Amino acid sequence: MQWDRIKQQLEQILGTEFRRGRVPAAKWNLSVESDAGKSRILDGRYHFFLYKDGGHIQAVSVDEPMLTPSEKQLVELMLEAYRTQEKRSVTPVHSEDERKSHLIRTWIAQQLEQGIFDAELPDTLAANFALYTPKIPLLVYGDYSDQRKATYQDLKKLLESFFDGEIVLIPLLDKEWLILGPESLLQEGGEGEEETAEDMLASLGDALHEMLVTEWVGECHIAVDYPLPPTKSLLASVSKLREAMTLGRTYRVADNIHMPWRLQLEKLLHPIGEEQKQLFLERVLKRMDLLKDVEMMTTLEQFIALDCSVSDTAKKLFIHRNTLLYRLDKFKQETGLDVRTFRHAVLVHVALLLYKVTKRT
């Protein structure tokens, strides 16, 4: 396992420096009363467990205040996935389809490990599932506990019933699954008002999420993108879906469906350093304590999400129009920002996104 490369990936994703090092097992075990494999704070730094190395613990660490709780959770989930990748490589294969999917998984992992994102899927692998026609890519991450296991056979059977046809299922990492569904799903829209491709993909993600939560092993997150030709774009798609999953879980913590076209601003903001984010908030909002008011935060988020429509926001929040206007006027008086104007709405929208990743709980 190339942990140094994983460290570099974490630094690129989160925009902060990680250190790789060893901690004496005795010191590690004395720091908290919990399982040795759990991450913890040591000497003012948050240490993420990698593996046990004799009498030491191999870990990567970051200054404790540099990550939000949600970012720490994402790092732990990512490291857990990498740790179990090697275990999955020796997992017994019980069907021909599963064996073929493991070959594709291994090829994807090898290419991405080398930083290759544009290689074409070899014909020997593409022919296994006839991956020559466009497919809808969906990335599923299961938030189930380690005690609950999802088998390839059970999930494949469930997905084929949901899609009412053949799908390709590739287990990328532990709890992470790539689904390639038929493009024809976008041509099966219901009657009435015509839907866009984005609307249909969003609806597909919502329906799949609802089914998996009910019929699978619990909560999960789904990233979905436009149809693609797997033989040419599979690597780029996996990378793009993982990025959407990370951005969505970081900036849109209330969402379970993550789509790249809805996360373009988040992608632009994510590489900005922590200090610059904090300075922007202080200069724009002036009164950041206002965002600790759940009612005010919800009002601003809904107002911006509904294109600054007073009537639609009042209906969504089940409040009188005058109550909404009172809240917006109060925010204007405290900050000087009138979110009913385009320029100020943009500033507040950016500030709300940055606030989610800089606030401390």
Confidence of residue 360 (pLDDT cuts 50, 70, 90): very low
pLDDT tens digits along 266-283:
999 988 888 888 889 888
Half-sphere exposure of 223 (CA within 13 A, CB side): 23
Mean pLDDT computed over 136-150: 81
Domains and CATH numbers, the chain: 2-89 (no CATH), 96-262 (3.30.70), 272-359 (1.10.10.2840)
Tell me how far apart the alpha carbons of residues 320 and 315 are, in angstroms, rounded to a whole number. Answer: 8
Please name the residue that has the structure tokens 């991956």: 131
For the chain, the C-alpha Rg in angstroms (whole number) is 23
**pLDDT for 159:** 93
Q: Which two tokens stand for residue 226?
A: 């436009």
SS3 content of the chain, % helix, strand, coil (to 5): 55, 15, 30
The share of the chain scoring above pLDDT 70, in percent, equals 89
Closest among 246, 241, 237, 271 to 259, alpha carbons compared = 241
pLDDT tens digits along 97-136:
899 999 999 999 889 888 888 899 999 999 888 898 999 9
**pLDDT for 112:** 87
pLDDT tens digits along 14-30:
888 888 888 888 888 87
User: Checking DSSP bridges between strand 56-63 and strand 19-24, what pairing results, if any?
Assistant: antiparallel
Q: Lowest mean pLDDT: which of 82-86, 256-260, 324-328, 348-352?
A: 82-86
Mean pLDDT computed over 187-191: 57
**pLDDT for 59:** 85
Q: Which two tokens stand for residue 125?
A: 């692998």
**pLDDT for 358:** 76
Mean pLDDT of the chain: 85
| Global confidence as pTM | 0.69
176-182, strands of its sheet edge to edge = 168-173, 176-182, 135-142, 220-224, 257-258
Mean pLDDT computed over 168-194: 81
